[in-house]
Every structure is written in structure tokens, then in C-alpha cells.
């Protein structure tokens, strides 16, 4: 799944969308979906996982995706776990595909 995450985006998004209440498994889902989002982004845009070492960044000390060659700003980074947390806190009908698209649009504009 992580070797070609693009093929699994829609099936995982569909499964996540159908979950009524994920409170019981929040940590499990956030961890795995966050890792999936990171690998999906790396597969599509390049970049790598690292721990953010910029003290002024809101991601300081967090695992983040950075060094993204397909964007003109070399300092762009994002924390996939934060995106997964946002997704997990949405109601039934949540969309992993929409979150992934939103991340890409937002970062490409920086």
C-alpha cells in the first residue's frame, strides 16, 4: 500500500467516510492515516520525512514532510499527522481525498 499509495486513496477515503464514530480508535486511525497521507504526498511530489528543527515553526519537534522538489519554496513543510487529526475529528462523510487535495493546493500556493 505504501509503495503506491495513489491506488489506495479512494478505497481508504471511502472507508474513512463511512465511519460513524471513530472515538474508540482515534489514535490508531490518526497514526495510520497520517502515515498514509505523508507517503501519498511524497509519492506524488517528492520530499521526505524529518523532524522539524525550526524553533519558530508551528511544526517544531513534529514529524513533517519537507524538502519537496516540486514546489518553488524550499521551506514548505506540513505535518501529515495534523491533517489526519483534523480528518478524524470531522463527522461521518469526512473525505481523505478532499484533505489530500486541500494540502496539495495550499502548499503549491506558498
Q: Show the low-confidence residues of the chain (pLDDT under 50).
A: none
Task: Specify the residue for cell string 511524497.
Answer: 42
pTM (2 d.p.): 0.87
| pLDDT tens digits, 23-54 | 677 888 889 999 999 999 999 999 999 999 98
| Mean pLDDT of the residues in the chain | 88
Q: How far is CA 33 from the centre of its chain?
A: 7
- The angle that helices 96-108 and 80-88 make with each other, rounded to 10 degrees, is 140
Q: Which three cell numbers stand for residue 28?
A: 490508531
- What is the pLDDT, as a whole number, of residue 50? 95
* In contact, 79 and 63? CB cutoff 8 Å: yes
**Which helix or strand (DSSP H or E) is residue 30 part of?**
helix 26-45
Task: Specify the residue for cell string 480528518.
Answer: 87
* DSSP structural state of residue 64: E
Amino acid at each position: 500500500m505504501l509503495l503506491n499509495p495513489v491506488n489506495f486513496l479512494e478505497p481508504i477515503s471511502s472507508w474513512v467516510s463511512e465511519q460513524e464514530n471513530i472515538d474508540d480508535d482515534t489514535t490508531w486511525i490518526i497514526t495510520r492515516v497520517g502515515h498514509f497521507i505523508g507517503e501519498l504526498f511524497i509519492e506524488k511530489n517528492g520530499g521526505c520525512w524529518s523532524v522539524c528543527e525550526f524553533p519558530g515553526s508551528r511544526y517544531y519537534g513534529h514529524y513533517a514532510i519537507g524538502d519537496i522538489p516540486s514546489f518553488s519554496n524550499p521551506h514548505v513543510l506540513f505535518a501529515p499527522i495534523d491533517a489526519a487529526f483534523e480528518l478524524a475529528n470531522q463527522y461521518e462523510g469526512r473525505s481523505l481525498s478532499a484533505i489530500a487535495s486541500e494540502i496539495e493546493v495550499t502548499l503549491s500556493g506558498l
